[in-house]
Amino acid sequence: MRRKLGFYLGIIIVLGLLCSHGLATTEHRYINGKVTSISGQKLIIGERIFEVAQDCIVRVHYRKGVAIYERPGSFKEIVPGKWVNVKVLGGVISEVIIEEWK
Q: pLDDT of the chain along its 102 residues, tens only? A: 667 666 766 677 776 665 555 545 568 899 999 999 998 899 999 999 999 999 999 999 999 999 999 999 999 999 999 999 999 998 999 999 999 987
Q: Which domain holds residue 91?
A: 28-99
Position 9 in a domain: no
Position 10 in a domain: no
Position 11 in a domain: no
User: Which DSSP symbol is given to 74?
Assistant: -
Position 21 in a domain: no
Position 42 in a domain: yes
The answer to whether 87 and 81 have CB atoms below 8 angstroms apart is no
Q: Count of domains in the chain?
A: 1
- What CATH number is associated with residue 94? 2.40.50
pLDDT for 54 equals 93
The answer to whether 95 and 102 have CB atoms below 8 angstroms apart is no
The answer to whether 9 and 17 have CB atoms below 8 angstroms apart is no
pTM: 0.71
Structure-derived torsion over alpha carbons of residues 65, 66, 70, 73, reported in degrees to the nearest 10: 50
**CA 63 to chain CA centroid, nearest Å:** 24
